A and B are shown apart, each in its own frame.
Chain A
């Protein structure tokens, strides 16, 4: 203690007599230490339970790969669980298996939402509750039942050494400080594995070094031997376990340096224990799924991470495709590939390609963040009747289509056209099947007839099928398939199954062919966390119905959030006179918690203002958790990513939901 001079000057150490402890004093102190030990045992068991809890969750983790939730194994997709990257382990989890916490920056009032998987959030909780956050490492703990022996191993050895050898006998000030410091700061051994053994070996070095250290300081107080013996029970243990940093045990006379090193070793251990948590998971992952490996080298650079995950998910999809493709008829698929190759129309190429390299590239370009690139399968039968110049296309069934509503179902139908060698659609009117409701595996069994197809056309034309989800507020794309017609012969029916691909120019064309007599509306949604309100910005409408005699309308929009118990969640915009394409740009606030929003429905109705008689209805739009496709996506995005505006165009329906 170099400060003794100053202490003397301040009169602080005037009574510095170093008078030895009397026996009754020793007794008293030892009894306090014993009482403390009881508490420490309870605490160790408590921390053990915390550790066990995390371990249990980890045991139940599925770790099926980056395209599935690491905990429950659910695959991600548009309306399947959303993929969330855990802030701590950077692994993909679903919303169910993760928690979002708000982080407040130290320097500002702003908060930021981050997601943690349940393992990491529990680990954080464990760090918080065990006090590991303070001591920068998990304290000593006893696992409830099975691994109790593991944590006992390091405790027994040093106790014997400390008590017997009398090495710790010199109870110098430095030594005392150190010992106790060690007592409290403890260690974070992962409860099993080879690492423990290493710790136990080093243990002795540390305790003896602290002993030599204290004797070096020279202030031996023999009367305290007994006390120290008792103390070394605890101090020794910790000194023992704390020495995990290599070279810690070599004679370090400077206590500061040793403390520094020990701090470092704490940190090392702390991360080691985290590592062991992650380690287990990773091993499992790499065993079950080779993509996990690919992720590892990139773990360091987080900026590139997002990209990496995309790569991986793509790769996995390709693999899945390949796997599933193996039991499908390969010839059909490759035939369409050969077609697009020969036709040379670059745009239509590679949709159903089997080449993983190309597919990967293409999918990367498409940047499919939310949609599962695997969009399902379509089975169809094609025949050609030469006498009628008619191509009969039977849409048999589709399988594993993407879900479009919150209950995980869709209302699919097909739109079919023929793509000419020049890359144009042959018919301006797309043929469509009936809608099969509430299923992701529809059986269409419907034959669409294309007349006026010349036999020579078959060789290099393409049948294009686009699947959409039927909804009164707009039809959402489900998947598209191209089938080469060169293999279609007049004699027999040609049956194939094709995987569905992503959107392209033809699907867009098919979508556009839909007429929306009621026009469209551009809506921007944002959940404002500060005001705890949903902000709805009614931006503009286009192609509204003319209702007045002058061929125009005087539109305004009514907004209502339902259910509306207090009748206060109603707003309306101003009236835009004599226009069919009004621009509103008006913002409205609906107070609601994000939780409530999951149950509410925003109803927007467009009206034509009439003076003197009742207003005419122009169109409606509903947004909420019960909507489908793009509407549902916008709604969910708005809840998931608050404080951001989510803008989308929606078609207006002709029925009035408020009636």
Chain B
């Protein structure tokens, strides 16, 4: 039996080919960096257990191939993800522009309330920068998600990014379960919520 844990969060890394998804994951899981580029075949995942508020959270982080030809396989894993990292390369304008395509891809395939985060990778290459930090921030605001500039090579913000995403998911868990799912809060709403539940129950018993 492996180590025990309290939560299992499934995270997903997506973004264009070569933006450094695998390197980010490698940095996070092994705290190492490899300069040789090996294109990911289809999908891969790594496991790391972190601790948040005294709870052990096992992160299963899926790394996807950015290449179009694996798209069929990779989109299959969107649905199960509780959190998705959208990665672009700050030295590649194209990868940044494609973020909106990735977002659309998420909207089509992932669960509706999946937690998202935008990462601008390779921020150590400031002299080759094509996408300013402000543009990244602006895009993140547009989609209402968090943003960070990371560097897998220089180990900047990688750890923070994953911890932020995990704690956001955990906060959502807490909120969802404790508030008994009233998205707008309040007592009145809750009454109806319970009532629908009751009707579901009674229908279930008929099955």
- With a cutoff of 8 Å between Cβ atoms, the chain A residues found around residue B143 in the complex are none
> Any chain B CB within 8 A of the CB of A370?
no
A272-280, A324-332, A479-487 - interface stretch: A272-280
CA distance A2 to B78 in the complex (A): 18
Among the listed stretches B41-49, B117-125, B145-153, which one makes contact with chain A, having 4 or more residues with CB under 8 Å of it?
B41-49
Which stretch, B25-33, B66-74, B134-142, touches the partner chain A? B66-74
Which residues of chain A from 1 to 38 have a CB within 8 Å of any chain B CB? 1, 3, 6-7, 10-19, 21, 25, 28-29, 32, 35-36
Which of A105-113, A335-343, A361-369, A525-533 contacts its partner? A105-113
- B73/A128 in contact, CB under 8 A: no
- Residue in B60, B67, B78, B98 whose CB lies within 8 Å of A39: B60
The CA of A302 and the CA of B178, in the complex, are separated in Å by: 19
Q: In whole Å, how far is A292's beta carbon from the nearest beta carbon of chain B? A: 16
- Check A176–B72 contact: CB distance below 8 A: yes
**Option from A18, A39, A271 in Cβ contact (under 8 Å) with B201:** A271
A107 and B177 within 8 A (CB): no
Q: Are A3 and B104 in contact, with the CB atoms below 8 A? A: yes
Name the contact of B43 in the complex, choosing from A1, A32, A124 (C-beta under 8 A). Answer: A32
Instruction: For the complex formed, measure the closest distance between the CB of A577 and the CB atoms of chain B, giving whole angstroms.
Output: 48
B50 at the interface (CB under 8 A from A): no
Q: Is B51 an interface residue (CB 8 A)?
A: no
Q: Which residue of A lies closest to B80 (CB)?
A: A184
Contact of A25 among B42, B79, B178 (CB under 8 A): B42
- Does any Cβ of A come within 8 Å of B94's Cβ? yes
Q: Are B178 and A103 in contact (CB under 8 A)?
A: yes
A148 at the interface (CB under 8 A from B): no
**In the complex, A184→B80 CA distance in Å?**
5
- CB of A429 closer than 8 Å to a CB of B: no
A233 → chain B, closest Cβ, in Å? 14
A180 contacts B179, CB within 8 Å? no
Is B79 touching A180 in the complex (CB atoms < 8 A)? yes
Using C-beta atoms within 8 Å of the partner chain, give the interface range for chain B. Answer: 35 or more
User: Could you tell me the distance between the alpha carbons of A179 and B78 in the complex, rounded to whole angstroms?
Assistant: 11
CA distance A17 to B78 in the complex (A): 22
- Looking at B4-12, B84-92, B158-166, the stretch in contact with chain A turns out to be B4-12
Q: Which residues of A contact B104 (CB under 8 A)?
A: 3
Task: Give the nearest-CB partner of A108 in chain B.
Answer: B185
Contact between A267 and B200, CB atoms less than 8 A apart? yes
Q: A103-B178, A128-B174, A302-B191 are in contact. Are A278 and B184 (CB under 8 A)?
A: no
Across the interface, name the chain B residue whose C-beta is closest to A18.
Answer: B69
How long is the Cα–Cα vector from A182 to B111 in the complex, in angstroms?
11
Cα separation A272 to B71 with both chains bound (whole Å): 35
Q: Which residue of B lies closest to A245 (CB)?
A: B207
Number of A-B contacts (CB under 8 A): 159
**Inter-chain contact B76/A105, CB cutoff 8 Å:** no
Report the bound CA distance from A219 to B32 in whole Å: 40
Verify B80–A171 contact, CB threshold 8 A: no
A12 proximity list for chain B (CB < 8 A)? 68, 98, 101
Q: Is the CB of A300 within 8 A of B198?
A: yes
A42 vs B60: C-alpha distance in the bound complex, in angstroms? 13
Q: Is the CB of A25 within 8 A of B180?
A: no
How far, in angstroms, from A1 to B107 measured CA to CA in the complex? Answer: 12
Residue among B7, B72, B111, B199 having the largest count of chain A Cβ atoms under 10 Å: B72
Within 91-129 of A, Cβ neighbours of B (below 8 Å) are at 101, 103-108, 124-125, 127-129
Chain B residues, CB < 8 A from A246: 207
Chain A nearest Cβ from B7, distance in angstroms: 6
- Assess whether A131 is interfacial by the CB under 8 Å rule: yes
Contact B97 A105 (CB under 8 A): no
A15-B67, A105-B185, A181-B80 as given contacts; A173 in contact with B75, CB under 8 Å: yes
B36 within 8 A of A: no
B98 touches A176 (CB 8 A): no
Determine the distance from Cα of A182 to Cα of B78 in the docked complex, in whole angstroms: 11
Contact A271 B43 (CB under 8 A): no
Given contacts A10-B97, A28-B41, contact A300 B109 (CB under 8 A): no
Which chain B residues lie closer than 8 Å to A279 at the CB level?
205
Does A406 reach chain B (CB closer than 8 Å)? no
9 closest Cβ pairs, A-B complex: A184-B80, A180-B76, A181-B79, A105-B185, A271-B200, A29-B42, A106-B185, A272-B204, A275-B201
Task: List 17 interface pairs A-B (beta carbons < 8 Å), by A numbering.
Answer: A10-B101, A14-B68, A35-B45, A39-B60, A106-B175, A127-B177, A128-B7, A128-B173, A128-B174, A173-B71, A176-B75, A180-B77, A183-B79, A221-B72, A275-B200, A275-B205, A300-B195
Residue positions of A touching B, CB distance < 8 A: 1, 3, 6-7, 10-19, 21, 25, 28-29, 32, 35-36, 39, 42-43, 46, 87-88, 101, 103-108, 124-125, 127-129, 131, 133-135, 171, 173, 176-177, 179-185, 195, 198, 221, 224, 227, 244, 246, 267-268, 271-272, 274-275, 278-279, 299-300, 302-303
Query: Known pairs A42-B2, A131-B9. 12 more at Cβ < 8 A?
Result: A10-B97, A13-B68, A14-B68, A15-B68, A105-B186, A106-B185, A131-B82, A176-B72, A184-B79, A246-B207, A268-B204, A275-B205
